[in-house]
Structures are given as C-alpha cells and as structure tokens.
Chain A
Amino acid sequence: MRVTQGCFSFLPDLTDEQITAQIQYCLEKGWAVNIEFTDDPHPRNTYWEMWGLPMFDLRDAAGIMRELSECRKIYGERYIRISAFDSSHGWESIRLSFIVNRPQNEPGFRLDRQETVGRNQRYSTRSYAAERPEGERYS
C-alpha cells in the first residue's frame, strides 16, 4: 500500500528538483521549513521526530535540501516529510506538508474491530510496521 498523507502523495514521488521548488515557495512566503521522520506512519501519529529545529532564518532552499540529504543518509528507510510553519496571527500552524521519502515496502495498517453493544463496532487502526520496536521496523 502507499500511505497517502501529505499534499502530493497521489503524484509520482517528487524529484529533488520538484522538492526544491516547493521549499522555495514556502521560504518566499516567510514560512519556517522543518524536516521530520518516523517509522510509524499511523494517521494519528502527530509528532514525527524532528530533524533539528525548524529552519527559521534560512532563505535558500539549497540549505534545506542539504539537510534533507543528510537525513536520508541515516533514515532513508523511514518516512520523511517537509512541513512549513506560518507564524502569522490567525494561522500559527502548518501551511504545507508533504512526504519526501518513504520506505521501499509499506506494509500498511490493520483494522481491528471489536464488537460492542448492539451493532456497534469499536475500530482500531494498527501500523504493521509498529509491531516491531522503534528503529527496527524497516530493516
């Protein structure tokens, strides 16, 4: 399966050139770009690990691409996403977020159903990847 979180998951994987253009767009808007990675892509796993702090003062996408390439060297078998934060009043949250790296094999999720009262079901989504300890999930 293919995890379709993020803004561009339905397109073919972005090339570095395409990623650079998106980052440049964010920087020109004055947003701070951040790199995050995880080996548990559960849809409610909000807090992926941060690759350093958001790069508040960078104005050139090339610097962020260098960081991305460093991150890929270590975590190339995990999900990596780019997020851009807008600090302006009334938003103060993410403006754009997209996946830039994913493991070769994405095992996906199991949907558990627990029968409860009446015809009601309790649903629970489990990442197959997360059944192994953190850090050993895609090796």
Chain B
Amino acid sequence: MNDQSITVRGKDRYKSGVMEYKKMGYWEPSYQPKDTDVIALFRVTPQDGVDPTEACAAVAGESSTATWTVVWTDRLTAAEKYRAKCYRVEPVPGSPGSYFAYIAYDLDLFEPGSIANLTASIIGNVFGFKPLKALRLEDMRLPVAYVKTFQGPATGIVVERERLDKFGRPLLGATVKPKLGLSGRNYGRVVYEALKGGLDFTKDDENINSQPFMHWRERFLYCMEAVNKAQAGTGEIKGTYLNVTAATMEDMYERAEFAKELGSNIIMIDLVIGYTAIQSMAKWARRNDMILHLHRAGHSTYTRQRSHGVSFRVIAKWMRLAGVDHIHAGTVVGKLEGDPNTTRGYYDICREDFNPMRLEHGVFFDQHWASLNKLMPVASGGIHAGQMHQLLDLLGEDVVLQFGGGTIGHPRGIAAGATANRVALEAMILARNEGRDYVHEGPEILAKAAQTCTPLREALEIWKDVTFNYESTDTPDFVPTVTPAA
C-alpha cells in the first residue's frame, strides 16, 4: 500500500470545506505507536470505488476527533495528539476487497477504567459509516498504563480455586434444564441432585430471571437449600450461579445482596446488561467476596460473522478489564460456534499474564496484563463425558466444563449423570499426570474407568455418536484451511 504521509500541514490544513481523511492527519504511515497507545486492528471493507487508504483513514478519523468537514476549533486543541493515526493498511489474505487497518490512539482519548468510554469511541459511530460496506474490530492492544486503571476479575482463577478448595482439574458444572418453566422447588431438586452426584457448580440459564413460573426469591431460597445439603452430603464446597440479571441496577443489587445473605459464593450476570452494569457488578463482587460469572448472551449477534462486528477476542479482553471471573469462551467440540485455533486465542487472553502475537490463533498483538487477575473460561453447550480427553487437551485445566444435557439427560438420573462426568474427568487427569498419551488413549481410559462406574458406562453408551462437525464461520485469517473440530 502507499507509505507516504500526504497530510496537509500549516494553515492549508484548516481551510474551510471538505478534505479527505487521509490528508487530515488520520493516515500517518511513518507513525511509530507509543508504548502507551491503545491500538485497534480493524477489518475494513470499503464500498466499491472507495480508496482503501482513505477508508482506513476515515475509520481512524471517525473513531477519534474527525467530523465530515474541516472545523477551525481543532486549532484550539493539541489536535495532532488527539487524532487517531492509521499507520498500516494491508490486504486481508484470501479476502479480496477487505483490508486490515492498524490504528493507534493516544491514551488521553480515554477515561481511565471505563469500558463504556473506550467502546463509545472504538465501536461508536464509525460502524455505521456509509463509505464502508462492513467493518470489524479484530483485536486491540491495551497498554499496561491503561490496563492498570481497571480492577480486573473480582476474584480470579487462583483465589477462586482457593475459596472452593479445588485444585488440579477443571471445575464441573451444569446448567439447569429445562431452562424455562420449572418451579423453584423443582428447580432446586435439579441443583441438589447434580451437586450431590459430583458437580462443583450448577448454573441458571441466561434467561432465567424472575418469571411467572418462578420468581427470583423462590429460586434463590431453594437453590441455597440444595447447595448446603449437597455440601453437607459430600464434605465438598459447592455453588450455584444465581443469575441476578434484571431490569435495573437497583434490582440487580437487591438480588445480589439476597444471594450474599443466603451464603452463596457465586452470582451471575448476562452480557446483555451492558458494560457499565458489568463493571458495577464486578466492583460489588470484589467488595462482597463473590465470584462473578458472565454468560455471554447476545454476543453472537456481532461476533460470529467475519466481515462485520467485533471479534469475541476483543470482548474477552474487555471483560477481563471489566472484572468478571467466568466467561463462556467456547467448547470447540460442542454445539456452538468455535474453531479450535480461534478458541485457543480466547482462552489465552483469559488465562495468561502475557499473550504473544500469534496470528494462527487470531491474536494480532503482544498483550501484557500486568498481573491483572486471570479469568476462568467456561465451556458450555453440547458436550458430554465421552469427549473428556478432547476437552482436556483443547481447553486445559483452568476451565469450567458445563455439561447441562450431558448431566440431566442421563438415563439413570441427574446424580448419575454428574457422577459419570466427575469420574470421567478424574480418570483423565490421573492418566494425564501419569504421563499417558491420554488424547489417543482417551476412549480406553474412559472404558477402564467405566468398569467401576456404571453411570459412566451408561453415559458413554448413550452419547457415543454425538458430535457437532460443522465448518466454523470465524477462523483465523492466517491459517490456510479450516481446522476440523476434533
């Protein structure tokens, strides 16, 4: 692409009228991003006939200081500092008509510690800009100076494990099903059976709030009876994610306070409550020793298609800053969208203190997290005990594996389903630690464990043929072919 600055300088720059964005200072190919700059990588698809460099400069302009015409009031400010600078434009491999635009933003453009402020700029008006057919925010480099203005996960992986007294294996959960319609009393039955059978957590689904068939207080009361009874029955810490999502902050605080009063160790919120509400609940959770689970309800409306929207890797970064402790980040082998390499990138963003650039995982920048707490990824949706070796291999140890149907749908009941999952998991960890090639020997390891565990035998039999092999829509640009799920 062209690599010369064509910025108009001096008083000509401020002559009234319309000027191309690339001449206004939003295209600076020789700009060296500072360590303190926020960097955004956009996938830009200009309308036919629009010059790619101009389109990318316009993205920089519209996401920072520009408007459609020259304004003299720029001259009252340190305008050059506040202009976002597109410093690199390159064609997207294998995707004619689309371009990667690297844009640097000065740190002073953003209010400290506010996702709402960051996103109002970066994904604000610019996404509706007419000269673009489509626009996607692919990745962001968040400077340490900015990361340090956020609280980060209220609890973090290490402290969560210490509180729960569970080390060395993924945590196990299940979402209560059917997700709608159970009364509080019946709902608590599912929670009790699943926890008593061997799960660590149960979970409200995203749309369980307070409906005619079960108001929230009923659910909280019966769930905590179930948690405490299961805890006494096993000698193990148990929890259930009480969904406090509600119409207003006041309602959410009321529900969270009640969860605390009942002794719950975890609450949950949905992504649809919005960034500010999420940050408020993260601060509440830190103040009240509560683990905060985030269900990413709604994200696929803007993360799934590669041409337009926001990549989930960016959402994961924002949520680590915002301060949730759990985030659904894909299963690879389950029923929901998830290319293995792309998903690996999300998991690294949640769990590592430093993410090196890895284009094959869709990670475009080195990212330092400056000891911000780690965020526990959650794998949920269409997974079962027979996949345990694949899950452990693909997702690692610091993850919550959520088997909803794979627990509750067990032919001998919920507790049996829970036991099957727990035995499968422990057997796989034992084998892995013994140095066995557990990925290839997985089915044998499970079969052997099933010899002393009838529920596992039954689970392996009933779900043996269940797989979800569909091509992913969101794969990294730098891997030539789609990677198969398993």
Contacts and interface: CB of A to CB of B under 8 A. Distances in A.
A119 B167 CA distance: 35
B371 interface: yes
Contacts of B158: 90-93
Contact of A25 (B224, B374, B435): B435
B430 interface: yes
B232 A25 contact: no
Interface string A11-34: 110100010011001000000000
A11 B274 CA distance: 43
A96 B429 CA distance: 11
Contacts of A18: 430, 434
B228 A43 contact: no
B168 interface: yes
29 contacts: A1-B233, A1-B234, A4-B236, A7-B429, A8-B426, A8-B429, A10-B426, A10-B453, A11-B423, A11-B430, A11-B449, A41-B235, A42-B235, A43-B165, A43-B235, A90-B158, A90-B353, A90-B371, A93-B161, A94-B162, A95-B168, A96-B167, A109-B232, A109-B235, A111-B229, A111-B231, A123-B224, A123-B228, A123-B263
A105 interface: no
Contacts of A97: 165, 167-168
B246 interface: no
Interface in B174-215: 198
Interface string A54-84: 0000000000000000000000000000011
A78 to B, nearest CB: 14
Interface of B: 158, 161-162, 165, 167-169, 198, 221, 224-225, 228-229, 231-237, 261-263, 353, 371, 374, 419, 422-423, 426-427, 429-430, 433-435, 449, 452-453
**Ordered nearest first, which 9 A-B pairs have the shortest CB separation?**
A96-B168, A3-B235, A111-B232, A123-B228, A25-B433, A109-B232, A7-B168, A21-B434, A97-B167
A89 B352 CA distance: 11
Contacts of B453: 10
B412 to A, nearest CB: 16
A43 B423 CA distance: 20
| Among B225, B422, B426, B449: residue with most chain A CB under 10 A | B426
Contact of B232 (A4, A10, A11, A110): A110
A7 B232 contact: no
B228 A125 contact: yes
Given A90-B374, A123-B228, A123-B263, A10 B419 contact: yes
B228 A5 contact: no
Contacts of B225: 121
Interface string A92-112: 111111100000000011110
A14 B433 CA distance: 13
Given A90-B353, A90-B371, A93-B158, A3 B423 contact: no
A76 B229 CA distance: 29
Contacts of B435: 21, 25
Contacts of A111: 228-229, 231-232
B429 A125 contact: no
Contacts of A120: 221, 261-262
Given A11-B426, A90-B353, A3 B234 contact: yes
B236 A43 contact: yes
A1 B235 contact: yes
| Among B233, B235, B236: residue with most chain A CB under 10 A | B235
A46 interface: yes
Nearest to A18: B430
Contact of B165 (A5, A8, A91, A121): A5
B420 to A, nearest CB: 10
Nearest to B421: A10
B228 A8 contact: no
B440 to A, nearest CB: 19
